[in-house]
Structure 1
Amino acid sequence: MEDTKIFKALSNQTRVQILDWLKNPEKNFEPQTHSLTTANFEGGVCVASIQKKVDLSQSTVSNFLSMLHKSGLLEAKKIGQWTYYRRNEETIRKLSKWIKEEL
């Protein structure tokens, strides 16, 4: 776990909000037709759906998602022409444990 990348990714309220929304993607986004069972990426949400909810430019949202992905907080999968993101629960558990035990 690279702590500095994670904390930098979490230093923006919109990025934290995206992580929160991805905790319950079925509740927070429209149904994702390409990602769920056919591509074995359940819980994945398309960039366009995230952008629509965030209501920021596509480039800004892509930058935010890239930062969250590079920090390890999100997993990504390209399916056809679309990229889907979901939370990396293992990294989030490790971070939670680290904060509880070390910080």
Structure 2
Amino acid sequence: MIRTPDDGTRLHILAWPGEPGRAEHGATAEAVAGRFGMTHPVALTHLRLLAAVGLLRTAAAGRPYYRCDEVRIAEVARMLEKGW
């Protein structure tokens, strides 16, 4: 599910809020749309899916900011390393 669509969009989106300078506050759907050249609804769909599986957390400050859930990402990485 994370790897779909085939171009790795969700993996790139997942990595971006964790970059220095963005990790503390997260990213809005508007910022993700601009960064990855997609419409706001498409960005929001990707972000909501990643949040639904627990890889992103949201914090509202007027509009939702999405941040990586590093603990959950590490858990998923360990499962995948074990061949899950």
Q: TM-score range by the shorter chain?
A: 0.7 to 0.9
The structure with more radius of gyration: 1
SS at match of 1:45: coil
Matching of residue 62 in structure 1 with residue 55 in structure 2? no
CA contact (8 A) 2:30 2:43 kept: no
Equivalent AA in structure 1 for residue 50 of structure 2? L
Cα RMSD (Å): 1.9
TM-score normalised by structure 1 residue count: 0.69
CA contact (8 A) 1:18 1:50 kept: yes
Structure 2 segments unaligned to the other structure (5+ residues): none
- What is the CA distance between 1:45 and its match in structure 2? 1.4
Structure 1 segments unaligned to the other structure (5+ residues): 1-7, 30-35, 37-41
CA distance in 2, matches of 1:9, 1:59: 18
CA contact (8 A) 1:9 1:71 kept: no
- What is the CA distance between 1:96 and its match in structure 2? 1.2
- What is the CA distance between 1:98 and its match in structure 2? 1.1
CA contact (8 A) 1:76 1:83 kept: yes
Which is richer in helix? 1
Matching of residue 79 in structure 1 with residue 79 in structure 2? no
% identity of equivalent residues: 23
SS at match of 1:84: strand
Q: Spell out, residue by residue over 1:44-92, the C-alpha distance to the aligned partner (whole angstroms, 9 max, x if none).
A: 1122111110111111110010000001110011112x11001111111
Summarize the Cα distance change of 1:25–1:19 in structure 2 as closer, same or farther, 3 Å threshold.
farther
